[in-house]
Amino acid sequence: MKQDLIERLTRYVTIDTQSDPESTTTPSTEKQWNLLNLLNDELTDLGLETDVDEQGYLFATLDSNVDANLPTIGFLAHVDTSPDFNAANVNPQIIEHYDGAPIQLGNTNRVLNQGVFPAMKHVEGHTLMVTDGTSLLGADDKAGVVEIMEALKYLTEHPEIKHGRIRIAFTPDEEIGRGPHHFDVDRFDADFAYTMDGSEYGELQYESFNAAEAVVTCHGVNVHPGSAKDAMINAVLLGQQFNTLLPQNEVPERTEGYEGFYHLMKINGDVEKTTLQYIIRDHDRNNFELRKKRLVEIKNDINSHYEDEPIEIEINDQYFNMGEKIAAEPHVIDIPKRVFEKLDIPSNTAPIRGGTDGSQLSYMGLPTPNIFTGCDNFHGPYEYASIDVMEKAVHVIIGIAKEVVETYQK
């Protein structure tokens, strides 16, 4: 299976499917269709019935091969890759039996080494796919796509493995936060599902951040600096003041686990107008609401010193902690936990410190935890995939399909 995984992953990552946050279409880029159309053909070749809509949501069905009333399960992965780094002309490299030594990435000065990326210690001895240093790899989430496709291939080639009805979804635009925006849960018609979009071996994630975006706009008054006394309002300094009033230790680089943060993503402007773009994250809903409230209080405090209230703020919720929904349906987690145990995979249920389509889908009525793919260092040239762990992920998908039969036929 390892060689099949390498060949399929190579085939998919060399297709540029980068999404575009500035686009107003769905998918946000036409090139995502190149992989979606290929997948549609490959699913059809496997004998699956497919259904793709005009917005790039590709669904497929593997029919049940048992005479029993079983829940329908789903597996999902997104086809787009991050807009944060070059995703064109991906040239994957294979490292056999990784020995822990630094890996020179192509002809660049970029080196993949454990001193910077200590998690690589866990993939020593594995076959790795890495970049040539000029692009991201796109294993986020084409590794998940590969794992689902290989599991489907295995199940169709081994009809003696009993399974219920399985639904598949390959979706666009996850990397720009829009993956579930046009996802039709009723059309997908599954009782629960799993995103194959995690990272390190053993991840089984069913808690996520509550998330919001905030845009702070500072309006200044620009006059000649020689006559600025008591007249100039410097919007750049207002922005600096605003950020300084936030807790300086509650930032991504100083938090972990369940700790939330404010993340200043971007600052643009001049004396007359400056904007600050934040994301706000917290696993606890009450703390999340307090974080948003704090931003408004800082705005009000600064504005109280000015007649024209120079600071505006717009806050928009993005998604909520899917654990609030999944906790009510513990079987959705218990099934993969039993599979992990049978496959001797240590289960890591630490909360996601990032986004996943499952966060929004769970609130749309489809409980959707997240499972590891075996990849790391997403969104940049240091991205890598462990083919060995990907093989384990394939067996997890197959195992879940079998476990559903065993669970509900008892």
Please tell me which residue in 174, 250, 357, 391 is annotated as part of the active site: 174
The 3-state DSSP class for residue 79 equals coil
Cβ burial, residue 114 (10 Å; 0-12/13-18/19+)? middle
Give the amino acid at 201. Answer: Y
Q: Residue 269, by phi and psi: left (phi above 0), alpha (psi -120 to 50) or beta?
A: left
Please tell me which residue in 20, 80, 150, 357 is annotated as part of the active site: 80
396 close to 335: Cβ distance less than 8 angstroms: no
Closest CA to 345 of 389, 283, 292: 389
319 close to 288: Cβ distance less than 8 angstroms: no
152 close to 62: Cβ distance less than 8 angstroms: yes
197 close to 78: Cβ distance less than 8 angstroms: yes
In this structure, the strands spanning 192-196 and 73-78 are parallel
Give the amino acid at 227. Answer: S
Could you identify the residue written with the tokens 């081994």? 158
Closest CA to 246 of 209, 290, 207, 205: 290
Residue 174 is among the residues annotated as catalytic for this protein: yes
In this structure, the strands spanning 210-219 and 311-319 are antiparallel
Cβ burial, residue 244 (10 Å; 0-12/13-18/19+)? exposed
Residue 80 is among the residues annotated as catalytic for this protein: yes
Structural tokens at position 264: 């200043």
Could you identify the residue written with the tokens 């549609």? 40
Could you identify the residue written with the tokens 């083919």? 387
d(CA 202, CA 205): 9
Residues designated as active site: 80, 174
